[in-house]
Amino acid sequence: MKYTEALRLTQPIHHARLRPRGALFVTMQSTTRLAFFMSSKLALAAIQSIAKSQAPHLRARAILRLAIIPSLGLWCAAALSAPAGPQQNVLSRPGMTLNGKWHVIVDPYENGYYDYRREPFDAAAAPRGGYFLDRKPADRSDLVEYDFDTSPTLMVPGDWNSQEDRLFYYEGSVWYRRTFHYTPSSPNRRVFVHFGAANYQADVYLNGQKLGRHVGGFTPFAFEITTLLKASNNSLVVKVDNTRHADAVPTVNTDWWNYGGLTRDVTLVETPALFIRDYQVQLAKNSPGRIAARVQLDGATAPVKVTLSIAGAGVSASAMSDAEGAATFNLDARKLKLWSPENPQLYGVSLTAGEDRIEDRIGFRRIAVRGNDILLNDRSVFLRGISLHEENPLRGGRAYSVEDARLLLGWAKELGCNFVRLAHYPHNEHMARIADELGLMLWEEVPVYWTIQWENPQTLANAKTQLTELITRDRNRASVVVWSVANETPVSEPRTRFLKELVDTVRALDATRLVSAAMEVHPDPADPNHRIVDDPFGAYTDLLSFNQYVGWYDGLPDKLPQIRWSLGYQKPVVISEFGADALQGFHADRLTRFSEEYQEDLYRQTIAMLKRIPQWRGTTPWILVDFRSPRRPLPHVQDGWNRKGLIGENGMKKKAFFVLKDFYDSIEKSSDTLPPKRP
Ligand code: GCB
């Protein structure tokens, strides 16, 4: 079965039965929510009765004493604000899609969030305003200055910039609201609302109650809504804010479009009370021929039998969960056919625990480095790659769907790639799943880009969270072979410390893949043709990856034959970027900037230059397709597009596409798993 056929989220499940709200199924979150609700109600009632019954001086003291109750409420509200932990493989769970038209209110002054004293409405024990209340006037005299029902709509998933001309450059807050009916399929089920991503900050409310906030524009998050959900007329409101901040990840300065909105799928996900929250089923790192698996349950109060089976490989085993609700497996995997670009073998994997059952399609392969080689399943491999932004130029805007993934990764296959760098932030989950199917290895990355605040602990925590959410989502994807923690960050001690913490985070979460970062090159003041890579961070990565632009930002392509390299590490070199802008269809001689001929010549000469690096083991040139960037204003040439694509915004291939394709085809013919011939 293909991955697309396995998507089961488009069909709503309607059942008439009511859900019991037994104590066992009230989660921590719902308990605190209840406490908050009760405490604020109690406090209000008490204050009203004091106000009616007591003398003024007694009144003040009594009200002061009661202030403790709403504070308890506020404490509880704070406990509500974290999203539920990450869930593995939500795409295969039953539930209901919330994709489609959502009503939106554009709110540049954040009127719907702050009162006129700039206090957030949702910080009050009983909010008196705020668009999240989704109010209607109670009668003709009632004053309500917004109305979702008559406000315009935007499609979800989708960025707002490419859907509405007036929002093309908009950076700020937009409120999204969607109403829905939903009854879980049987009693005692739990329900979560899951967001593939919202750029950059999302405040989420259901039926007027705050579920919490998520920060970070490219990773998934979910909130449990079991006890707040009604059978009909639920109002789900999300304030999405894509304002750039200096202390954020990414920071204010990037070379891509800051698309805002609910950019990925939104779904209701239904599970039994006890369910499989997370799992990692991969080959064991140090024992070839064995699978090491860990399954994490949610809602287990006693040991539970967990089974894991891979029917196609005759594997089936069970284990009891431990005190943390985790079950571990170590299984014989000698019968498995390994996943590779030539044979992207995936196996149906099923996991069961109690009433829960979840199915996945997983590939098994080994990736490692040895000396200057990258080993895929113990054979040296050359990474025939390309970089890619998450944009569909033909429709415009962020890519989000299976079809988008097939279009973009299909172009990479046409180019002869076995490897794709998903730059510069986590792309949607479909990308990794389609790459699994197509046999493309992936480099996945977090937006630690250029000038992050290296000494700000909140910025570090933010980067770690985004990295954790990405790895948790994709660590069962055979396609993912590299986690990259940064791009072109300026060398300094605080920056290296920051990045080292990210490497530690990766290794703690997933020791089976390679770690890298796109580093920089520096010139030798004594020799104009000498380039050096000696970033101290290179000591912590598995690959020596760097971006270099000799011939574009650094002289003209004629310089390329003279360039010599000093590389500070004996590691496989993967050139994470090189390239030149070219406007598709603009033809001139090879020294005319922005012509296809300039780009074509630069590719030819760069490939020849890179062949002289003995430890060269792969590259991801910049970039497969032109992409939007506000840094690129040159009229009639760029018009707001970075033109370094090998394919234009119109989907037409430029001449350089064929230069790279010829090179990749020649490697493939000589041997797919050997580096190119050294000169
Ligand atoms: C880079 C950056 C990339 C830019 C590219 C360019 O080095 O990593 O994000 O888009 O250069 O086109 O200048």
What digits encode the pLDDT tens for the residues 330-349? 999 988 999 999 999 999 99
In the structure encoding, which two tokens stand for residue 608, read together? 């020849």
Pocket test for ligand 1, best of 253, 255, 642 (most atoms within 8 A of CB): 255
Q: What is the per-residue pLDDT across 439-461, written as a single tens digit (0 to 9) for each? A: 999 999 999 999 999 999 999 99
Q: Which SS3 state, helix, strand or coil, does residue 365 take?
A: coil
User: Hey, what domains does the chain have and what are their CATH numbers?
Assistant: 3-79 (no CATH), 90-271 (2.60.120.260), 275-354 (2.60.40.10), 369-669 (3.20.20.80)
Task: Note the pLDDT of residue 491.
Answer: 98
CA 549 to ligand 1 centroid distance, Å: 9
Task: Note the pLDDT of residue 669.
Answer: 66
Query: In this structure, what is the dihedral angle of CA atoms 519, 525, 531, 532, given to the nearest 10 degrees?
Result: -50
The answer, yes or no, to whether residue 53 has pLDDT greater than 50, is: no
CA 255 to ligand 1 centroid distance, Å: 6
Name the percent of the chain in helix, strand, coil, to the closest 5: 25, 30, 45
Task: Note the pLDDT of residue 386.
Answer: 98
CA 195 to ligand 1 centroid distance, Å: 29
In the structure encoding, which two tokens stand for residue 213, read together? 């906030």
d(CA 305, CA 321): 6
Task: Note the pLDDT of residue 670.
Answer: 60
Confidence of residue 52 (pLDDT cuts 50, 70, 90): very low
CA 537 to ligand 1 centroid distance, Å: 20
CA 444 to ligand 1 centroid distance, Å: 16
627 Cβ closer than 6 Å to some ligand 1 atom: no
CA 623 to ligand 1 centroid distance, Å: 9
CA 140 to ligand 1 centroid distance, Å: 56
Q: What is the per-residue pLDDT across 226-257, written as a single tens digit (0 to 9) for each? A: 999 999 999 999 999 999 999 999 999 999 99
Q: What is the per-residue pLDDT across 220-234, written as a single tens digit (0 to 9) for each? A: 999 999 999 999 999
547 Cβ closer than 6 Å to some ligand 1 atom: yes
Least confident interval from 45-54, 149-158, 386-395, 506-515: 45-54
CA 578 to ligand 1 centroid distance, Å: 9
Which atom of ligand 1 sits closest to the CA of residue 629? 10
Cis link prior to 471 (omega < 30° from 0)? no
User: Which residue is closest in CA terms to ligand 1's atom 3?
Assistant: 255
The answer, yes or no, to whether residue 471 has pLDDT greater than 70, is: yes
Q: What percent of the chain has pLDDT over 90?
A: 84
Q: What is the per-residue pLDDT across 541-552, written as a single tens digit (0 to 9) for each? A: 999 999 999 999
User: Which residue is closest in CA terms to ligand 1's atom 13?
Assistant: 255
Which atom of ligand 1 sits closest to the CA of residue 423? 9
445 Cβ closer than 6 Å to some ligand 1 atom: no
Q: Give the pLDDT mean for 6-11.
A: 33
Q: Is the separation of the CB atoms in 421 and 579 below 8 Å?
A: no
Longest dimension (CA), the chain: 96
445 bridge partner residues? 484
Of the two residues 269 and 42, the one the predictor is more confident about is 269
487 Cβ closer than 6 Å to some ligand 1 atom: yes
Sheet holding 326-332, edge to edge: 275-283, 290-298, 326-332
Supply φ then ψ for residue 258, to 5 degrees: -90, 65
554 Cβ closer than 6 Å to some ligand 1 atom: no
Task: Note the pLDDT of residue 82.
Answer: 65
Pocket test for ligand 1, best of 577, 619, 627, 637 (most atoms within 8 A of CB): 577
Confidence of residue 48 (pLDDT cuts 50, 70, 90): very low
Task: Note the pLDDT of residue 23.
Answer: 27
The answer, yes or no, to whether residue 324 has pLDDT greater than 90, is: yes
Least confident interval from 1-10, 235-244, 563-572, 662-671: 1-10
> What's the 3-state SS for 245-268?
CCCCCCCCCCCCCCCCECCCCEEE
Average pLDDT score over the chain: 89
| Sequence-separated (6 or more) residues with CB below 8 Å from residue 642 | 255, 256, 581, 623, 626, 627, 628, 629, 631, 632
| Sequence-separated (6 or more) residues with CB below 8 Å from residue 457 | none
CA 437 to ligand 1 centroid distance, Å: 29
The answer, yes or no, to whether residue 376 has pLDDT greater than 70, is: yes
d(CA 154, CA 176): 8
Q: Give the pLDDT mean for 163-187.
A: 97
d(CA 393, CA 376): 33
CA 566 to ligand 1 centroid distance, Å: 22
DSSP, res 377: T
488 Cβ closer than 6 Å to some ligand 1 atom: yes
Q: Give the pLDDT mean for 306-328.
A: 96
d(CA 568, CA 372): 13
114 bridge partner residues? 120
For 281, the enclosing helix (H) or strand (E) is: strand 275-283
Task: Note the pLDDT of residue 65.
Answer: 37
Q: What is the per-residue pLDDT across 252-301, written as a single tens digit (0 to 9) for each? A: 999 999 999 999 999 999 999 999 999 999 999 888 789 999 999 999 99
